[in-house]
Amino acid sequence: MPPAMEKALQLKTAELEKISHIDYFNIAISVDCVIFGYDEKELKVLLIKSDLEEFSGLYSLLGDLIRPDEDLETASYRILKERTGMDDMYLEQVHAFGGLDRHPSGRVITIAYYSLIDIKHQKLQLSHNELSWHPVHEIKKLAFDHKLILETCLGRLQQQVLDYPVIFNLLPEKFSLRELQELYQAILGVELDRRNFRKKIVIKDWLLDIKEIENDVPHRPGKLYKLKPELKKKNGKKKFSATVR
């Protein structure tokens, strides 16, 4: 018996004695990452072809079992690093999913995170050629309960974009207000008025005018902005002052 299991036998909880102790360790724990990207004016998610027979032909989120010596965030960052080559990505825990039959091979409880990444970022290396980006709104069916997980994470993202400067993780460092507006529209699924959008963004005081303009556009170039550096923390939304309500 491995030491951690021995240790756990010392746990005192109300009902522990009613069930064979070893059964409590028949549950595996995984992390699944919904990795959002933005390209061609669409919100996309990074998926992999499922390697389970039960789900042949279906795609699934990127996930892995949690190792005994790593905490939840460490596991998530490991998956991101392994799959994309990047670290220091924005990451946020969303929800735990623990349905009895969610995994065909056994009981697996998963903790879902979402992550935001610039698809065009030079460091992004999709190590595995079974990985591919899929437009979020065109996804019909995924392996496991991953469609539900995706929808839950999208909902959380939609809640957060209005109050916290997280969206910039989906854009290159320099961007125009048009690109930013198109991104909001893609995430929220609404059309926004250009003038009102600009006013609202200015009020939030997130942007730095870097005194450059677009080039290579077949029309009048727009000004470029950066996210203010002090807001650039990849994780920990607690650092931003939430909107007072």
For DNA, the binding residues (CB under 7 A) are 176-178, 193-196, 198-200, 203, 213, 215, 217-223, 244
143 or 186, CB closer to its own copies? 143
Q: Taking CB within 5 to 8 Å according to partner kind, which of its own copies, DNA, none is near residue 25? A: its own copies
Q: Compute the distance between CA of residue 224 and CA of residue 234 in angstroms, rounded to an integer.
A: 21
Backbone angles phi, psi at 50, to 5 degrees: -65, 140
Q: Residues 156 to 215: which contact its own copies by CB under 8 A? A: 162
CA distances to 17, 151, 198 from 192, in Å = 59, 22, 10
Give the pairing type, strands 59-60 and 108-116: unpaired
31 or 207, CB closer to its own copies? 31
Q: Which stretch binds its own copies (CB under 8 A): 19-27, 129-137, 142-150, 212-220?
A: 19-27
Q: Does 16 bind its own copies (CB under 8 A)?
A: yes
Give the pairing type, strands 62-65 and 59-60: unpaired
Torsional sign, CA 79, 43, 237, 160: negative
**Secondary structure letter of residue 58 according to DSSP:** -
Residues that bind its own copies (CB under 8 A): 2, 4-5, 7-8, 10-16, 19, 22-30, 51-52, 63-72, 82, 93, 95-100, 103, 105-109, 111, 162, 245
